[in-house]
């Protein structure tokens, strides 16, 4: 196994974004499996952080193993888990209307919150939970907006406008959330990146120490790393191009320490 670049030896741990960094859609980015293996061989703690609400942590583990990336359940920190935590800790949120897929519904139920979708009480929910999913439609938007206008609070899985897919970006939670906020004038509470909690949860699980965040989004991965007090590396396999990444890195006070073509290039070299 080749030695890691000197830059990576500054850090005890490496936190990895999923979409646009480790994978794009159902395919791994170039040499991602080798890169993760090299980090482990060098004794680095590794965690995987994602704003993707579509998969539960167990499903992320299965997907990554299928891509050749070795990972344990404790190393996966998902926005769905963050949603569940916030819902469980907020006593006055007893009922919810949920925009989201099956994994998000399971997290809401696991928090002890009753889901009112497809009932006559949907517009009277205590909280509206928003996460992108492929079956999102106008009826969901209408019900969510009516619930918020009736007094429900608004909780979102993040503000990512899009996420990378092989054929080009798909609308993310931020796009769906923007429609609800625009329709109601409400401002959502967001638990995903760039909020620092996912980063801090990952670092806590790894046992503390210095960490480098590696991701493709300036507005989520880099901004979140800065909020959590971490350095960041930008990879170009997702939504950010080289010009934008280099421009952001040149800003005074930027936490970006390097820009690389891919996770594989960052860890293993060209």
Q: What is the pLDDT of residues 36-48, one digit of tens each?
A: 999 999 999 999 9
- Cβ partners under 8 Å of residue 64, min gap 6: 22, 23, 48, 70, 71
Q: What is the pLDDT of residues 138-167, one digit of tens each?
A: 999 999 999 999 999 999 999 999 999 999
pLDDT at 2: 66
Q: Rounded to 10 degrees, what is the CA torsion of 184, 189, 195, 196?
A: 180
Any idea which residue has 């949920």 for tokens? Answer: 98
As a whole number, mean pLDDT of residues 175-196 equals: 97
Q: DSSP 3-state assignment of 207?
A: coil
Question: Can you give 91-107 as a three-state secondary structure string?
Answer: CCCCEEEEECCHHHHHH
Omega before 194 within 30 of 0, i.e. cis = yes
Q: H/E element holding 176?
A: helix 173-184
pLDDT at 93: 98
pLDDT at 31: 97
As a whole number, mean pLDDT of residues 235-264 equals: 97
* % of the chain surpassing 70 pLDDT: 99
Predicted structure pTM score: 0.89
Q: What is the pLDDT of residues 43-91, one digit of tens each?
A: 999 999 999 999 999 999 999 999 999 999 999 999 999 999 999 999 9
Q: List the domains of the chain with CATH numbers.
A: 6-51+193-268 (3.40.50.1000), 90-190 (3.40.50.1000)
Q: What is the pLDDT of residues 18-27, one digit of tens each?
A: 999 999 999 9
Helix axes 173-184, 138-149, angle to 10 degrees: 50
Per-chain mean pLDDT for the chain: 96
Cα–Cα distance measured from residue 259 to residue 247, given in angstroms and rounded to the nearest whole number: 11
CA distances from residue 23 to 48, 67, 85, 190, 202 in whole angstroms, order as listed: 11, 9, 26, 24, 19
């Amino acid at each position: 196994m080749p030695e890691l670049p000197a830059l990576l030896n500054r850090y005890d741990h490496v936190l990895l974004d999923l979409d646009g960094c480790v994978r794009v859609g159902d395919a791994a980015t170039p040499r991602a499996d080798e890169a993760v293996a090299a980090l482990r061989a060098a004794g680095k703690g590794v965690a995987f952080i994602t704003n993707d609400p579509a998969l539960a942590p167990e499903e992320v583990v299965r997907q990554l193993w299928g891509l050749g990336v070795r990972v344990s359940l404790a190393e996966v920190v998902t926005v769905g888990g963050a949603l569940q935590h916030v819902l469980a800790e907020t006593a006055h949120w007893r009922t919810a209307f949920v925009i989201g897929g099956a994994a998000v519904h399971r997290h809401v139920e696991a928090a002890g919150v009753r889901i009112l979708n497809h009932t006559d009480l949907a517009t009277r929910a205590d909280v509206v939970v928003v996460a992108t999913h492929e079956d999102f439609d106008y009826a969901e938007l209408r019900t969510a907006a009516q619930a918020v206008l009736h007094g429900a609070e608004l909780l979102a899985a993040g503000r990512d406008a899009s996420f990378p897919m092989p054929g080009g970006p798909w609308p993310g939670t931020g796009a769906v959330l923007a429609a609800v906020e625009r329709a109601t004038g409400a401002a959502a509470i967001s638990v995903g990146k760039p909020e620092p909690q996912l980063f801090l949860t990952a670092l806590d699980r790894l046992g503390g120490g210095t960490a480098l965040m590696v991701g493709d989004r300036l507005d989520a991965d880099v901004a979140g790393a800065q909020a959590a007090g971490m350095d960041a590396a930008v990879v170009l396999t997702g939504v950010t191009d080289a010009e934008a990444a280099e421009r952001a890195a040149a800003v005074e006070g930027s936490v970006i320490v390097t820009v690389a073509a891919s996770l594989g290039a960052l860890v293993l070299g060209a």
